[in-house]
Amino acid sequence: MTSPAALVQRHPTTTAPLASAEAVTKSFGRTAALTGVSLQIHPGESVGLLGPNGAGKSTLIGLLSGLRRPDSGTVRLFGENPSHPRTRLRLGITPQATAVPQNLTVHEAVQFVARHYPDPIPSAQLLKDFGLVEAERKQCGGLSGGQQRRLLVALALVGRPELVILDEPTTGLDVDARETLWSQLRTYRSSGGTLLITSHYLEEIQALSSRVVVIDRGTVIADGTVDDIRSRVAVSKVSFLTDLPASSFLCLPGTVDVTVADTGRTTVVTQDADATVRQLVQDGLPFSQLEVHGATLEEAFLSLTAKEQQ
Ligand SMILES: Nc1ncnc2c1ncn2[C@@H]1O[C@H](COP(=O)(O)OP(=O)(O)OP(=O)(O)O)[C@@H](O)[C@H]1O
């Protein structure tokens, strides 16, 4: 038996990937959703899957969780065929746009899902962790959007899964509701759980993921830490106060763009911040309060996916 506090059912320690795709392709009619994707998710990782609409994220999740089969290539979940019921007991999943069962109460929904697992988290503990105690006797259909999302993620965790896959878990939630869910997911991770999450909120990926995989038009175009992904695009921002117009800075080395904010701060987007600053000083251009920033994950992501489309 697992202790009531444990969120992850321990299986024999392994370093083998919990989920993997090897040269996987999947088409829907003439639409190629995935074209040769390879990816491995190891125990303890928290992987953020990023990509524009239609990139293939949900399709990949469908394959890894055994909901779909690849046209070619190999998919493994806990080293086995993902559609095998035994493997699914070790997986928790909240697919995109899943609806809660409208006419069941929260208590009934938790009981219904919990009965599929050998050692589920007790309902009282789960509802407390997810702030749903007050809603226990309410019908799921009467819950607020935030409560429904929390319930769906709670249901994904009830069986103490080793791997949890969440497809856009907080879409439509306000900042507070998102923070509450993030906190539960961090607790799950720190107790040894492994997470694969897609999101359109880049700050969500940044907050929860140690590794980011960028997928675009059915292929993986980047795979690394947030810092790796940011450094791949090698874009920095040099900003300062000045009386000169933006055009005065366009010829600085490495410069890609120059903008002036309402606050009067001029920002030079550059591929080589060191060279830009050196030249700024050498040319004796007047400036004050200089700051240098690396690209944000969002800028890196947009830059990577835009490059692919060129
Ligand atoms: N059941 C389906 N039938 C037909 N085409 C599909 C089906 N599922 C996905 N597609 C197509 O496959 C491609 C990849 O879709 P997928 O849903 O995997 O992308 P996504 O990255 O999850 O997008 P989003 O961020 O919008 O959810 C898209 O062109 C989509 O229209």
pLDDT tens across 175-193, in order?
A: 888 888 899 999 999 999 9
Pocket test for ligand 1, best of 58, 69, 219, 308 (most atoms within 8 A of CB): 58
The rounded distance, in Å, linking the Cα atoms of 61 and 56 is 9
The rounded distance, in Å, linking the Cα atoms of 20 and 205 is 20
Identify which of 202, 208, 209, 204 has the alpha carbon closest to the alpha carbon of residue 303.
202
Neighbour count for residue 181 (Cβ, 10 Å): 23
If DSSP codes are grouped into helix, strand and coil, which group holds residue 218? coil
Residue predicted with more confidence, 95 or 38: 38
Q: Whose CA is nearest to atom 28 of ligand 1?
A: 54
pLDDT digits 0-9 by tens, 255-285: 888 999 999 999 998 888 999 999 999 999 9
- CA distances to 7, 111, 127 from 122, in Å: 11, 9, 9
For residue 58, the CA-to-ligand 1 centroid distance in Å is 7
At residue 180, the pLDDT reads 84
Residue 138 in this model has a pLDDT that exceeds 50 = yes
How many helices and strands in the chain, by DSSP H and E?
A: 10, 13
For residue 156, the CA-to-ligand 1 centroid distance in Å is 22
Confirm if 33 and 78 have CB atoms less than 8 A apart. Answer: no
pLDDT digits 0-9 by tens, 225-239: 988 888 777 788 999
- pLDDT band at residue 1 using 50, 70 and 90 as cut-offs: very low
Pocket test for ligand 1, best of 26, 35, 57, 204 (most atoms within 8 A of CB): 57
Identify which of 203, 235, 239, 226 has the alpha carbon closest to the alpha carbon of residue 307.
235
Pocket test for ligand 1, best of 25, 26, 28 (most atoms within 8 A of CB): 28
State what percent of residues in the chain have pLDDT above 70.
94
The residue-averaged pLDDT of 124-135 equals: 92
For residue 228, the CA-to-ligand 1 centroid distance in Å is 27
Q: What's the complex ipTM?
A: 0.97
At residue 110, the pLDDT reads 94
pTM, to two decimals: 0.82
Residue predicted with more confidence, 192 or 15: 192
At residue 301, the pLDDT reads 82
Q: Whose CA is nearest to atom 12 of ligand 1?
A: 33
Residues with CB under 6 A from ligand 1: 28, 31, 33, 51, 53-59, 96
H/E segment holding residue 216 = strand 211-216
- pLDDT band at residue 3 using 50, 70 and 90 as cut-offs: very low
Residue 217 in this model has a pLDDT that exceeds 80 = yes
Question: Tokens 């790796």 appear where?
Answer: 228
DSSP line for 272-284: -HHHHHHHHHHTT
The rounded distance, in Å, linking the Cα atoms of 307 and 54 is 17
* Residue 171 structure tokens: 């879409």
For residue 60, the CA-to-ligand 1 centroid distance in Å is 10
pLDDT digits 0-9 by tens, 284-310: 999 999 999 887 788 788 878 876 665
Q: Whose CA is nearest to atom 6 of ligand 1?
A: 28
Identify which of 211, 237, 239 has the alpha carbon closest to the alpha carbon of residue 224.
211
For residue 174, the CA-to-ligand 1 centroid distance in Å is 26
Identify which of 163, 169, 171 has the alpha carbon closest to the alpha carbon of residue 188.
163
